[in-house]
Amino acid sequence: MKATLSYKYVGERFEELSGQVVIVKEIAELADIPYKTLQNRMGMKKRRATYFDEVHITDKDLLPRTRERRAKSRSNIADGKNKLSTDWLKRSLV
């Protein structure tokens, strides 16, 4: 089954396609990003758009994923263990 999801492309990255209706799968292959990523981005834009807004593909939509993951700080956990052991060790036996 061929992909038929299409939107108007407005951007400067692919000037020959600017202003034309393009199929999402084809432009995703041209931009070298996964089809599902672009499909999900366009679905979110469509869902967030109001009745009067026109949904179209921009150059920002064609960027690769930029999700940054921050490492969890282990210092809080280590401090908690040290605090617990020092509290119990400082107690008197009687």
Residue range 25-51, pLDDT digits in tens: 999 999 999 999 999 999 999 999 888
Of residues 12 and 76, the one with the higher pLDDT is 12
Res 20: pLDDT? 92
Sign of CA dihedral 53, 58, 62, 63: negative
What does pTM read for this prediction? 0.65
Per-residue pLDDT, averaged over 14-25, amounts to: 92
Percent of the chain whose predicted confidence (pLDDT) is above 90:
50
Q: Report the run of H or E that residue 80 belongs to, with start and end.
A: helix 75-90
